[in-house]
Amino acid sequence: MAKIVPFQAVRPTRDKVCLVTCRSYEEYVNAELAAQLDFNPLSFLHILKPAYTNQETVSFEKRYRQVHQKYQEFKNEIILIKDKKPAIYIHKIVTKTHSFTGIIVGTSVEDYCNNVIKKHEDIIAFRVRLLKEYMQHAEFNTEPVLMTYPDNKTIENWIFNCCQKLADFEFSTTKKEIHYLWKIEDTLEINWLQNIFEKTESLYIADGHHRTEALKMLSLENKDVQNTSKNHILSYLISENNVKIYEFNRLIKDLNGLSKHDFIKALENNFIIENKYQQPFQPLEKHHFGMYLDTEFYSLILRKEKDEINSSLESLDTQILYKKVLLPLLGIEDLRNDERIEYLSGKQSVLEVKNKIDQGEFEVGFLLFPSNIEEIKALAHENQIMPPKSTFIEPKFRSGLVIYEF
């Protein structure tokens, strides 16, 4: 039974929202980040990187305290204001190719501990600790955890009707996205939605595993403190049929001492190989792979007699590629830390893989077919963990749009 709660969000004023909100800090290249910080004094990036103006190198703790101080400055200057009543929020994102609509609420840390909120990715303990310390000092969170819920026609119809009203926010971004936000603060409406989610058996984390774990740690450390806000996770709930899942393609810097001929011959033990020459190739179904090597594309189809699948994990194309190619042939054991492998999201053209290899930066690239939501759910139910960089999932939320205070 999934529990959701309304909360009093801190949000930009209507006239400043398009200037305040920003993409996740990590998405900016240095030149773009500098331009935003130099020429937009209202950008939420000034809160996320408060030492920029002095070009300081500071400790993590000092930076986190500066984040909190800059955040308070934005509130004092009425750039950000807190809603007077607890509410839930409907957020719609329209991109050039897709439209995403979800519900922003607080979900329960207890549900996460009890596996009502299910995960499918591994976490890095050091990164979790940093995030926990960051949120503890900053005293807010502005990046919701993306969670999916089973398709529900009743919720879908309710969202559709809410979206017919005038939005509290409507603005465009430089990435040519349009964002809408509706605030729902009617108590009866909120209670009705809570009752529906109480009948929902599970929620599934699509993106935000480290944030969820950090919030769990923060909650457990403050379990004796009468501050229930630390018992909830800022979440963006979206229907399973409304997420977009891309693959991560693999780029490898060398063939681990093998010649091209010997490498392809070794691949033939597990795959049916067809040379596509200069014709760009991408797989169109599971257990099919693309490869680019020495100016040529190849199709790799897993041989049926090698299709030894006994679990949801073993069925994943990323795991098959790891077990059949990356580990035994190319000697890549640690997918997260080996410097010989890099990842390119499937949002980018297959020609980007080709260009990076043609430029000599890498020697071989592998193109994968994207996973689907059913695979993610199956892994979560089996308490299995996806290999690193298995999925790139949209939508992505903008920082500074809806802020949850602790």
Q: What is the pLDDT of residues 214-227, one digit of tens each?
A: 999 999 988 766 66
In the three-class reduction of DSSP (H, G, I as helix; E, B as strand; rest coil), residue 89 is classed as: strand
- pTM comes to 0.92
Which domains are delineated in the chain? 4-244+394-405 (no CATH), 248-369 (3.30.1760)
Q: What confidence score (pLDDT) does residue 229 get? A: 80
**H/E stretch holding 17:** helix 17-20
145 closest CA partner among 124, 120, 169, 176: 120
In the prediction, which pLDDT does 226 show?
Answer: 63
Which of these, 174, 184, 7, 9, lies nearest to 80 by C-alpha position? Answer: 9
Residue 310 pLDDT: 77
Q: What is the pLDDT of residue 49?
A: 87
The answer on pLDDT for 357 being more than 70 is yes
Confidence of residue 304 (pLDDT cuts 50, 70, 90): confident
For the cut 70, the answer to whether the pLDDT of residue 257 exceeds it is yes
Contact call for residues 358 and 295 (beta carbons, < 8 A)? yes
Which pLDDT band, with edges at 50, 70 and 90, does 128 fall under?
A: very high
**What's the count of helices (H) and strands (E) in the chain, helices before strands?**
14, 21
Average pLDDT of every residue of the chain: 94
Phi, psi (rounded to 5 degrees) for 379: -60, -45
In this prediction, residues 239-264 reach a mean pLDDT of 97
The whole-number pLDDT of residue 206 equals 96
- pLDDT, mean of residues 301-312: 79
More confident residue, 126 or 61: 126
- pLDDT at site 57: 67
- Under 8 Å between Cβ of 212 and 233: yes
264 or 221, which is more confident?
264
